[in-house]
C-alpha cells in the first residue's frame, strides 16, 4: 500500500461518505471493524488517502468512483424502519428503495410509525451536513393527537421546555382543528431529537396517533404520494443549499 504522505487524493472516510457508503463518522467505524481494504490490504486509519483508481472495498464489495451528489424526496409510509438492517427483521425504508435508487442513506430518521418526508442522498457528507442543528433548518410536522389543548398552552413551547431532564429548543405550534376526541396541530422544530414531537405532545397530555413530516428545511412533502420518490433537480439543490454547503459537500 502506498505511503500516506506520498498519496494524492482524499481521506478514505471522506471518499466512502461521498460514495454513499456511510457518513464520515460511520465510515470510521467500518475501518475500526477491519472490513475496509485498499488494494487488498486492510486499512487501519481513516486518515489514509485514496484515489478512485485504487481497489477500495467494504466487506468485500468494491466501492466505485463517487458519483455526483444527488438528493431525493421520499414519502415514507408508516410501518418502515429507517435503517439498512433491522435486527428484529422488520421491513426497512431501504428494502423498499432497493432497485429503485442507487445506494443511498437517509438525512436523519423517521421512526417506525411516523410517515411523510424523508430525504435520501447518495452522499454521506451531504447527509451529515443537513442533519446538523447548525444548518438551522426547521422540521415541520402535522400532528394528530388524542386529547385537548389550547393555543395558549402551545405558545408556551416557544421558549423551549425541559422534559425528564432533556432540554428541547424553541417550538412553534399552531392548533389547526378539533376533530372529535382529537386535535390537529402544525409544529416546527429545529433540532429533531429522538422522539421529540411525541415527547412534547405527551408533556401536554396529548397522545399522538398520527405524525406526518411535511417539510425539512426548504424541501416540502407537497403532493408526493405514499412510497413515491422524486429527485430534487441539481439546479434547485444548489440554490437551496447555498454556496457554503455546496463547497463543503463537493457539489
Catalytically active residues are 111
Please give the Cα distance from 70 to 86 (Å, whole number): 25
CA distance 79 to 179: 24
Contact between residue 25 and residue 128 where contact means Cβ atoms under 8 Å apart: yes
Cα 124 vs. chain centroid, distance in angstroms? 10
Residue 174 bridge partners (DSSP): 186
Contacts of 129 (CB under 8 A, 6+ apart): 135, 245, 248, 249
Distance of CA 96 to the CA centre of its chain: 16
Q: What are 118's strand-pairing partners?
A: 74
Count helices and strands in the chain by DSSP H and E runs: 7, 17
Report which of 57, 66, 47, 52 is spatially closest to residue 5, judged by C-alpha positions.
Answer: 47
Amino acid at each position: 500500500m502506498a505511503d500516506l504522505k506520498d498519496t494524492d487524493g482524499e481521506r478514505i472516510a471522506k471518499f466512502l461518505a461521498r460514495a454513499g457508503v456511510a457518513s464520515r463518522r460511520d465510515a470510521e467505524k467500518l475501518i475500526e471493524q477491519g472490513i475496509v481494504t485498499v488494494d487488498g490490504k486492510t486499512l487501519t486509519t481513516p486518515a489514509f488517502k485514496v484515489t478512485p483508481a485504487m481497489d477500495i472495498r467494504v466487506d468485500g464489495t468494491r466501492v466505485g468512483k463517487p458519483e455526483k451528489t444527488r438528493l431525493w424526496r421520499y414519502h415514507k409510509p408508516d410501518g418502515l424502519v429507517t435503517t439498512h438492517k433491522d435486527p428484529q427483521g422488520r421491513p426497512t425504508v431501504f428494502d423498499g428503495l432497493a432497485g429503485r435508487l442507487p445506494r443511498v442513506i437517509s438525512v436523519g430518521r423517521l421512526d417506525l410509525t411516523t410517515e411523510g418526508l424523508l430525504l435520501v442522498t447518495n452522499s454521506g457528507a451531504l447527509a451529515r451536513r443537513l442533519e446538523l442543528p447548525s444548518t438551522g433548518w426547521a422540521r415541520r410536522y402535522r400532528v394528530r393527537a388524542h386529547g385537548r389543548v389550547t393555543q395558549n398552552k402551545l405558545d408556551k413551547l416557544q421558549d423551549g421546555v425541559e422534559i425528564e431532564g432533556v432540554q428541547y429548543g424553541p417550538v412553534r405550534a399552531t392548533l389547526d382543528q378539533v376533530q372529535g376526541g382529537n386535535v390537529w396541530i402544525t409544529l416546527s422544530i429545529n433540532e429533531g431529537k429522538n422522539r421529540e414531537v411525541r415527547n412534547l405532545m405527551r408533556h401536554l397530555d396529548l397522545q399522538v396517533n398520527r405524525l406526518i413530516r411535511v417539510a425539512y428545511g426548504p424541501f416540502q412533502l407537497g403532493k408526493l404520494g405514499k412510497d413515491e420518490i422524486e429527485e430534487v433537480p441539481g439546479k434547485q439543490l444548489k440554490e437551496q443549499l447555498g454556496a457554503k454547503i455546496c463547497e463543503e459537500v463537493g457539489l
